[in-house]
């Protein structure tokens, strides 16, 4: 499906959303955020989609909020952008399926905030990431101050946010901001291979694992372990549990989950 600024495509069980507003490096205007949201609607409505890959066309993943549009805002009117941006990121984070960011180039400000709401980040060697908002006289407005310290730790996050500096792909890897770095021409293949490796497993289990891991970000250890125990036990009501464990016991390698 083609939605001009946002491309939506399905390859098997993998959905790919490509940000395609290259003239301004995929800057996140309110309209663009809405269009991305509409593409995510398609993912949510399709039970045959097991993983989602987000990437950008051209030299940017997303170069941040649309500064031209944002310049005119005041404290009230900026809340529209902030709600759209935060809302989209929370939606991606809570999507039942794994979301992979294939970071092809600049992921700055709101672009990095969006990438940080994804479950796994793969970066091209050309990628550059940062939260430069303080250089514009503001701070992140779509979750950046909350997610970056959770991912890289408080001290590193503070240095990145206070200086607004950009890190390259190798630096991002060394601080744990991305899972791996690959040559630009291998970026999509790597993301698709990762998606395929996830899709071979029981999808109810994968979604449950995501929910459990996400819960760990907002709970203490005891609460988290109780939550895990509860949803772990529910998996024993699924056919996938019988298929997965039964196939192991019968030494069958070539089996498929129900999904």
Catalytic residue ranges = 113, 133
Binding to ligand CAA, residues 87-126 (CB under 6 A): 106, 108-110, 113
Q: Is there binding between residue 141 and ligand CAA (CB under 6 A)?
A: yes
CB-nearer residue toward ligand CAA: 137 or 254: 137
State how far the Cα of 48 lies from the Cα of 10, in Å rounded to an integer.
Answer: 10
Which residue in 80, 138, 213, 245 binds ligand CAA (CB under 6 A)?
Answer: 138
Which residue in 132, 157, 161, 228 binds ligand CAA (CB under 6 A)?
Answer: 132
Residue 149 beta carbon to ligand CAA: minimum distance, rounded to whole angstroms: 16
Q: Show the site string, 48-67: x = touches ligand CAA by CB under 6 A, - = not.
A: ---------------xxxxx
CB-nearer residue toward ligand CAA: 5 or 240: 5
User: Which residue in 56, 66, 64 sits closest to 122, CA to CA?
Assistant: 56
DSSP-assigned beta bridge partners for residue 182: 124
Q: Is there binding between residue 129 and ligand CAA (CB under 6 A)?
A: no
Interior angle at CA 82, CA 217 and CA 162, nearest 5? 70
Which residue is it, tokens 């890897």? 173
Residue 140 beta carbon to ligand CAA: minimum distance, rounded to whole angstroms: 4
Q: Is there binding between residue 245 and ligand CAA (CB under 6 A)?
A: no
Binding to ligand CAA, residues 158-197 (CB under 6 A): none
Total residues in contact with ligand CAA, by rule CB under 6 A? 21
Q: Is there binding between residue 27 and ligand CAA (CB under 6 A)?
A: yes
Which residue in 88, 99, 101, 142 binds ligand CAA (CB under 6 A)?
Answer: 142
Q: Is there binding between residue 36 and ligand CAA (CB under 6 A)?
A: no
**Cβ atoms 57, 94 nearer than 8 A:** no
State the distance between the two ends of the chain, measured CA to CA, in whole angstroms.
24
Q: How many CB atoms neighbour CB 50 within 10 A? A: 23
φ and ψ of 72, to 5 deg: -80, -5
Residue 62 beta carbon to ligand CAA: minimum distance, rounded to whole angstroms: 8
State how far the Cα of 82 lies from the Cα of 94, in Å rounded to an integer.
Answer: 18
CB-nearer residue toward ligand CAA: 24 or 219: 24
φ and ψ of 60, to 5 deg: -125, 145
3-state helix, strand, coil in the chain (%, to 5): 50, 20, 30
State how far the Cα of 157 lies from the Cα of 145, in Å rounded to an integer.
Answer: 8
CB-nearer residue toward ligand CAA: 10 or 93: 93
The DSSP letter of residue 180 is E
**Cβ atoms 98, 206 nearer than 8 A:** yes
Q: Which stretch binds ligand CAA (CB under 6 A): 22-30, 180-188, 204-212, 237-245?
A: 22-30
Interacting residues toward ligand CAA by CB under 6 A: 24-25, 27, 63-68, 106, 108-110, 113, 132-133, 136, 138, 140-142
């Amino acid at each position: 499906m083609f939605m001009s600024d946002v491309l939506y495509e399905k390859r098997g069980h993998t959905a790919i959303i490509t940000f395609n507003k290259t003239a301004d490096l995929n800057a996140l205007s309110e309209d663009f955020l809405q269009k991305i949201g509409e593409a995510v609607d398609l993912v949510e409505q399709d039970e045959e989609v097991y993983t989602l890959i987000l990437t950008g066309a051209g030299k940017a993943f997303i170069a941040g909020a649309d500064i031209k549009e944002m310049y005119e805002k005041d404290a009230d009117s900026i809340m529209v952008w902030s709600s759209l941006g935060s809302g989209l990121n929370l939606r991606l984070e809570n999507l039942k399926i794994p979301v992979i960011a294939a970071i092809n180039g600049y992921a700055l400000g709101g672009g990095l905030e969006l990438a940080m709401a994804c479950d796994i980040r793969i970066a091209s060697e050309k990628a550059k990431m940062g939260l430069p908002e303080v250089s514009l006289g503001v701070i992140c407005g779509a979750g950046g101050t909350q997610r970056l310290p959770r991912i890289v730790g408080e001290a590193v996050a503070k240095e990145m946010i206070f200086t607004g500096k950009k890190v390259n792909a190798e630096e991002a890897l060394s601080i744990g901001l991305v899972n791996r770095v690959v040559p630009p021409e291998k970026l999509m293949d790597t993301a698709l291979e990762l998606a395929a490796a996830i899709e071979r497993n029981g999808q109810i289990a994968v979604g449950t694992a995501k929910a459990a891991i996400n819960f760990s970000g907002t709970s203490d250890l005891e609460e988290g372990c109780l939550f895990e125990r509860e949803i772990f036990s529910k998996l024993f009501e699924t056919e996938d549990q019988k298929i997965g464990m039964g196939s192991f016991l019968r030494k069958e390698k070539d089996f498929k989950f129900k999904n």
